[in-house]
Amino acid sequence: MEETAFSYSNQPKKSNKTMLFVVISVLLAVLIGWFFVTQQPKDTDEVKNDIVVEEKTPTPTIEKPKIEKSSVKIQVINGTGTPGQAGIVVKALEEAGYSSDNIKTGNSEEFDNETTTIEAKENFEEIVKNIEDELKSTFDKITVKSSNLDSDSEFDVVIVTGGKIFEAVTPTASVTGSVSPTPSVTTTPILTPTSTPQ
């Protein structure tokens, strides 16, 4: 078999200008394509991947310590002068679970309180609410002044009773009845004859 050699000399030579035109056209086409691809809206899947989700750890809520009723130190002050009014409050508190060992009573310097007031140290709001609920049946008007007591106060809660101002009544004595005579006994001598010796 005989080999035939082809000669490429018959093909026309491309000029450098044509080659340069082709390269510039290809680069221009790539740039235009890149521009359109970057300007189109992204797929929602791609958008989801690009969104940065900031994970927030919840701020821990500081839970107030539970205060045992039996450990609360309470002062009950009679603010109306009504005898036994502080004792009524103490009895109601004992029935609600407060310890009588931690409850002290006293009298106000003035007996003109028309409203019962409850004052407490900070963080005793739950206790104050409980005491207020317990005393609603006894007192018409109750004012809560939470967090007014100093932290170095001897008592955690101070209750000053109020309501109808006590008015002392002076008792008057009266004697009634009848006087009955007492029976009297009279004695009469009895004579008996005696004989005389002779």
In this structure, the strands spanning 116-120 and 103-107 are unpaired
In tens, the pLDDT along 30-72 reads: 888 888 878 766 655 555 555 666 677 776 666 667 889 999 9
- Smallest CA-to-CA distance from 96 within 137, 148, 147, 66 is with 137
* Whether the predicted pLDDT of 160 surpasses 90: yes
What pLDDT, on a 0 to 100 scale, did the predictor assign at position 18? 85
Describe the crossing of helices 85-95 and 125-135 by its angle, rounded to 10 degrees.
120
- pLDDT bin (cut points 50, 70, 90) of residue 75 is very high
Cα separation values, 110 from 33, 58, 113, 148, Å: 94, 52, 8, 21
Looking at the domain 69-160, which fold is it?
Answer: Alpha-Beta Plaits (3.30.70)
What SS3 state is found at 97?
coil
